[in-house]
């Protein structure tokens, strides 16, 4: 029996096991939404903005490892979702975005709400396609899901004209996909793996450097086995957090611009770096000519274009991280007959790292008056520990969360890395909560990031999704303000946000519980009350506005050239001055 394109669309999603999609209807996709409305296997979550839909699909994908799905209309529906596509592309998130398009006979005629969806999305998707014939729709959807989740994952866009959704064709969903020119490599080269094993067993100062690819490969077990077998210290990128237990004795936490002192020093003085699903981005490397000057590199990645892109790999291994590590662990076990010798070989290196950690631990000063943001995150960690999923927005709060929240389980850390998208955290948390209704999901955010997508409070309230929002409210775009303090003589150009809005009242307007801690003594009680609340809750924590995030590698500096504390020029007088004149356009009056 023939089906309409809209019916083929829905049946194809069922074949892919899709349980939920996020989106907003519009004229050219009304037929699809109408068919979705008449069935119960695929739930539609109505978001309040298309960017929110994209980030929810990302959060769902990151938390589950499955492909996230979004459906939006043409024109502004498409252009609003681009930020989410670019974010997913940078962070290798498996996602399929379906966009509506004007009827095929109107394409190119500047029809109402027409946009070149394929052209716009080409730089920020792994693959994109315009479906011109309803007979191609099922095959195209099958290929889209296959491309999104295989190889290096990423977002795929499928553009569906209005007439394609209404025309009819025989429905037959393909059993398999065979794409000429697309065949990801999963097994690593045996010779290169043996070479890597030999380097690992003789290295005196090795480091395992983990990126986000380890999580999408589900390689946490293999990494733990590899690290414990070889007794090699482990550091993680922002995207790699939770791929290795943060509280493990071999964990050095995050590396890079705001990474721990000891992880950056270990990388700088390492003689061997084993990069696992990481791409050596600039937030990690700092000044590339001085990056790990004494080290040889083993680079494992399923994407051959990521290897040698930024740093020369002495032993490149193209393959799936989980598969390659299994192969490597087998080879290491066959070569290593004495665990005691390995431990003795690594002991001086581990001792050196421990000394670096003792010399410059993560630190801050909490008094009885002004709440420090790090204190809120530490108290949150004490109350939640290894339970639940943490989603963050982007900025200082993101870095403090990465430093002080030691995730132990894979896929419990959701953040925007490559694109650094403010507004990501809250909708991503909603996506994760939809995937795991019974789990604790916490969004750590700030007033700057949160206001980018706060309209999704309506989505959380409508679906009664019990996301816990921990808002670190410093009245600034904090990371911008920090750079202005350090590099622009404290001129806070367009970074001061003030005390608008009242977030507790805002939460109430959406029918959501709102709480506030005005002093340090109230932080723990507010967190405890918010976490036990059965519905969504927003907890507002006004914090010290001039706290800076350290360690910090300044732009253009090497890994070992970290700034560990405020320079002397950042005096209280400079930070606490009150503007005496009318603020210039784009500026706010600074608090005393």
> Does residue 255 share a domain with residue 117?
no
Residue 269 lies in a domain: yes
Determine the pLDDT at residue 385: 81
Outline where DSSP puts E strands in 215-288.
234-236, 251-254, 272-276
Residue 591 lies in a domain: no
Outline where DSSP puts E strands in 43-178.
43-46, 68-72, 95-101, 127-130, 155-161, 168-170
Determine the pLDDT at residue 572: 52
Residue 367 lies in a domain: no
Helices vs strands, H then E, count in the chain = 23, 20
Residue 589 lies in a domain: no
Last residue of one domain, picked from the residues 336, 359, 382: 359
Ramachandran angles phi, psi of 127, nearest 5°: -160, 150
286 vs 563: CA distance, rounded Å: 13
Determine the pLDDT at residue 335: 83
70 vs 196: CA distance, rounded Å: 41
In this structure, what CATH number is given to the domain that contains residue 268?
Answer: 3.40.50.1220
C-beta of residue 16 within 8 angstroms of C-beta of residue 145: yes
> Does residue 152 share a domain with residue 232?
no
> Does residue 161 share a domain with residue 12?
yes
> Does residue 519 share a domain with residue 457?
yes
> Does residue 444 share a domain with residue 347?
no
As for how many domains the chain has, the answer is 3
Determine the pLDDT at residue 574: 52
Ramachandran angles phi, psi of 297, nearest 5°: -120, 130
In this structure, what CATH number is given to the domain that contains residue 107?
Answer: 3.40.50.970
Give the mean pLDDT per block of 10 residues along the chain (592 residues).
Answer: 96 98 98 98 98 98 98 98 98 98 95 95 98 98 98 98 98 94 95 96 96 96 96 97 95 96 97 96 91 96 93 96 97 78 91 96 93 97 91 97 91 96 98 97 97 98 98 96 91 91 97 97 97 97 95 90 84 46 38 35
Residue 77 lies in a domain: yes
Determine the pLDDT at residue 336: 63
Could you list the residue range(s) of the whole structural domain that residue 292 is in? 190-359
Global confidence as pTM: 0.94
Residue 324 lies in a domain: yes
> Does residue 542 share a domain with residue 413?
yes
Q: In what order do the strands lie in the sheet with 20-23?
A: 43-46, 20-23, 68-72, 95-101, 155-161, 127-130
Determine the pLDDT at residue 1: 82
Determine the pLDDT at residue 592: 32
List the catalytic residues.
50, 112-113, 162, 479
Residue 228 CA from chain centroid, whole number: 27
> Does residue 486 share a domain with residue 414?
yes
Residue 543 lies in a domain: yes
Residue 17 lies in a domain: yes
> Does residue 107 share a domain with residue 69?
yes
C-beta of residue 564 within 8 angstroms of C-beta of residue 550: yes
> Does residue 221 share a domain with residue 83?
no
The torsion angle over the Cα atoms of residues 252, 254, 256 and 257, rounded to 10 degrees, is -120
Tokens of 20: 């939920």
Say which residues have a Cβ less than 8 Å from residue 488's Cβ, sequence separation at least 6: none
> Does residue 224 share a domain with residue 153?
no
> Does residue 166 share a domain with residue 209?
no
Q: State the first-to-last Cα distance of the chain, in angstroms, to the nearest integer.
A: 73
> Does residue 389 share a domain with residue 309?
no
Last residue of one domain, picked from the residues 135, 170, 205: 170
Residue owning tokens 């990521």: 306
Q: Which candidate, 537, 472, 470, places its Cα nearest to that of 510?
A: 537
* β partners of residue 445: 471
């Amino acid at each position: 029996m023939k089906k309409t394109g809209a019916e083929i669309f829905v049946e194809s999603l069922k074949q892919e096991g899709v349980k939920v999609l996020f989106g907003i209807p519009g004229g050219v996709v009304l037929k699809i939404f109408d068919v979705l409305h008449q069935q119960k296997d695929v739930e539609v979550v109505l978001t309040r903005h298309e960017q929110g839909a994209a980030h929810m699909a990302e959060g769902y994908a990151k938390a589950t490892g499955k492909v996230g799905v979004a459906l939006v209309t043409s024109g502004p529906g498409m252009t609003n979702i681009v930020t989410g596509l670019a974010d997913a592309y940078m962070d290798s998130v498996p996602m399929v975005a379906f966009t509506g398009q004007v009827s095929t006979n109107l394409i190119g005629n500047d029809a109402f709400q027409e946009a070149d969806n394929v052209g716009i999305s080409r730089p920020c998707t792994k693959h994109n396609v315009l479906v011109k014939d309803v007979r191609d729709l099922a095959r195209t959807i099958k290929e889209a899901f296959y491309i999104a989740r295989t190889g290096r994952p990423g977002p795929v866009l499928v553009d569906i004209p209005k007439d394609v959704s209404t025309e009819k064709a025989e429905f037959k969903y393909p059993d398999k996909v065979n794409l000429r020119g697309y065949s990801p490599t999963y097994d690593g080269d045996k010779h290169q793996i043996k070479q890597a094993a030999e380097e690992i067993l003789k290295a005196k100062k090795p480091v395992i450097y983990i990126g986000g690819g380890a999580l999408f490969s589900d390689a946490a077990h293999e990494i733990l086995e590899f690290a414990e077998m070889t007794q090699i210290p482990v550091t993680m990128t922002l995207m790699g957090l939770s791929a290795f237990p943060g509280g493990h004795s071999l964990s050095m936490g995050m590396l890079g611009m705001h990474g721990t002192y000891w992880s950056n020093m270990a990388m700088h003085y390492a003689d061997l770096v084993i990069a696992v699903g990481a791409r050596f981005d600039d937030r990690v490397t700092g000044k590339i000519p001085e990056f790990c000057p004494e080290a040889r590199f083993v680079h494992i990645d399923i994407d051959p274009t990521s290897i040698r892109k930024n740093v020369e790999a002495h032993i490149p291994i193209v393959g799936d991280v989980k598969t390659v590590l299994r192969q490597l662990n087998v080879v290491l076990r066959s070569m290593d007959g004495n665990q005691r010798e390995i431990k003795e070989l690594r002991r001086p290196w581990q001792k050196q790292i421990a000394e670096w950690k003792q010399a410059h631990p993560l630190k801050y000063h909490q008094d009885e008056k002004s709440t420090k943001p790090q204190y809120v995150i530490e108290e949150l960690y004490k109350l939640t520990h290894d339970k639940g999923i943490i989603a963050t927005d982007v900025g200082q709060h993101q870095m403090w969360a990465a430093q002080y929240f030691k995730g132990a389980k894979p896929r419990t850390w959701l953040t925007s890395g490559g694109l650094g998208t403010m507004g990501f955290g809250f909708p991503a948390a909603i996506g994760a909560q939809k995937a795991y209704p019974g789990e604790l999901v916490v969004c750590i955010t700030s007033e700057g990031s949160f206001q980018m997508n706060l309209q999704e409070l309506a989505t959380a309230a409508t679906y009664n999704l019990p996301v816990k929002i921990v808002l670190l409210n410093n009245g600034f775009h904090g990371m911008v303000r920090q750079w202005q303090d350090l590099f622009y003589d404290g001129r806070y150009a367009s970074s001061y946000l003030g005390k608008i809005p009242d977030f507790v009242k805002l939460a109430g307007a959406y029918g959501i519980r709102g709480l506030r801690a005005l002093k340090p003594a109230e932080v723990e009680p507010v967190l405890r009350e918010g976490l036990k609340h059965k519905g969504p809750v927003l907890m507002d924590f006004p914090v010290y506005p001039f706290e800076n995030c350290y360690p910090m590698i300044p732009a253009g500096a090497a890994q070992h050239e970290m700034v560990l504390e405020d320079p002397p020029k950042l005096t209280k007088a400079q930070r606490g001055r009150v503007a005496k004149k009318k603020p210039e356009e784009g500026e706010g009056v600074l608090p005393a």
